[in-house]
Amino acid sequence: MTTRIAGACLGGVGAFAVLIIFFGMLLYLFRCDRSSTRMKILWLFIFFLTAWFGSSLYFFVAYQRQVPREGS
C-alpha cells in the first residue's frame, strides 16, 4: 500500500517536471536560441515527435552549450 502511494507521488512529481522541462526548453528555443532557423525547425519536430525525450535531449545538446556557466 505504501509503495503505491510513494509511486503515485513520484509519478505526479515526475509528470509535472516533464511539463516544466518541455515548455521551458520550447520557450528557450523560440526566444533565446542562436541556432539557424532550420535547426530550430528540426528541434521543434523532435520536441513534438518524441515528447519529453526530445526536450531533455535538447537540454543536454543545445541548451547547455549556449548558456554560460556561472564563474566562467
Dihedral-angle region of residue 51 (phi above 0 means left; psi in -120 to 50 means alpha; beta otherwise): left
Within a domain: residue 72? no
Using CA atoms, how far apart are residues 39 and 52, in angstroms rounded to an integer?
18
Structural domain harbouring 58: 2-66
pLDDT tens-digit series, residues 11-67:
888 889 888 988 999 999 999 888 899 999 999 999 889 877 888 899 888 888 887
**Confidence (pTM):** 0.75
DSSP notation for 44-66: HHHHHHHTHHHHHHHIIIIIHHH
| Number of folded domains that form the chain | 1
Determine, yes or no, domain membership for 9: yes
Cα–Cα–Cα angle for 21, 24, 25, rounded to 5 degrees: 80
